[in-house]
Structure 1
Amino acid sequence: MEKAEISRLINSFDAIKAYFNTTKLYMPQIAKLVYFIEEIVPLLNMIHDGLNQSANMIPTATEKLNKVTSATELASTKVMDIVDIVINKLNTMSTSADEIDKILDKGPDVKSIKEKTTVIHSEIGSCQDDLFLIMNAFQFQDITTQQINSIASIIGTVHKKLAALLKGFDDGVIELSAGRIAAFDPNAEFNFSRSAKAQLVADDYIKMEKQGIDIEKKAAELESSHSQKIDKNEEKISSVVFGDDTILGEDGQPDINSIMNQLNSKDAKSKE
């Protein structure tokens, strides 16, 4: 072996030694990089899922805000229309009052005065109904409050998810403010006609109270009457089913057709 070849062989061994030394030096960093990648992949998956959920919640919040806007606009328009109607009716009453004054100046005309006062009373009653409609229209505030609370809940959920994701990149503790928890119906919507029916029920309740009717006593009497009617029907059925003249079917059980015939027969006799 020549001297030059021996020299090249020694250089090759030196290069191999240097390679192993370099590998030994950087292997821990490479291992740490592999471990980091293994740990970051689940975190990236969690971020992906969290962003997808947040992306699905945001359109829902937008839709609910649109419903709040629509409900507010509907109620506001209704109130303004009713106010215009009430103003026109008040103008009619003012005109009738002026005509009454003119009639009184000329001389007492009972028939004309009666006609004008009838018009005034009619318009007053109509104005009262319109004012109740205004009160009813303002019930939209409860519905819109529930919608806004639902939106706040969605935003809070998104906030918590984003905070949980950020914890993977920061060792510090992220504090979430504990907001006011309010009960709400996420599907609540303003329905003017349904709200009007509820307002009519409330108005009837107030009228009965003003007439001195004991509502609780009246309700108890109706419930008692209903219970007595049920008891009588049960006694009637029992007497038919377990009486001596009961007709049994092939299975040994009371025949339903015979029971109905006997009930109808007894009802007809009682009416006679």
Structure 2
Amino acid sequence: MSQYQRYFLELTYEGTRYHGWQIQPNAVTVQQKLNEALAILLRHPVETTGAGRTDTGVHARQLFVHFDYPDSLKAIDLVRFEAGINALLPIDIAVKRVTPVHPDAHARFDAIKRSYEYHIHFHKNPFKNNYSWLLKGNLDVEAMNQAGQIIMEYTDFSCFSKSNTQVKTNNCKVTRAEWVQTGDGLVFYISADRFLRNMVRAIVGTCLMVGRHEIEPDGIRQIIESKNRSNAGTSVPACGLYLTEVKYPYL
């Protein structure tokens, strides 16, 4: 029986041209392009498992995936592997490193922290198209940060989850939810042990309700406790969202 070595692959991509990470019928995805490139390079069918899934148009500065391959690659081959896979991948997808790991290591289940950023700018800028959301109007950033502090008091985020998503639990431990002003906009930083589908974009939309004084910061408590998605804010566009970090206890 063949022995398999498991590898972790660190990936970064610009998601504008893709229908998200996960393979879908009749749509081009990041996982599809990666699997195709791996199969050509390794001359063997390869299935990858990602740390999570990003939706259409969402970017990733860091995403880890794992895959198994028979006959362990030697250390010197890992350098050639990185150059080879990047030569085969499209210009908007890149592999940063590949690391041999324990056979039971799992890119999704072993992740202990994930971080996202959401970028907003207030003045038209053609160089920010597809990378930030153009928003008009003034926002009360202090109130939005008060809402962020309240979010960290809760664990059940059913109200921010996409409807009809089948997961075992809607509980997440949020460790950061902070708005930071930039030269011409805002960046929302959020970290948690896990995220629900559409959760970050729904949280941003709800914080904007606070920033526009449509609700008070404390009003976010009622929204969260309702566990009803229709009570939360509208999901903001995907273009401003970045998966920025995935952490593991052994990397």
Question: What's the TM-score, normalizing by structure 1?
Answer: 0.16
By relative contact order (CA 8 Å, sep 6+), the higher-ranking structure is 2
More helix by share: 1
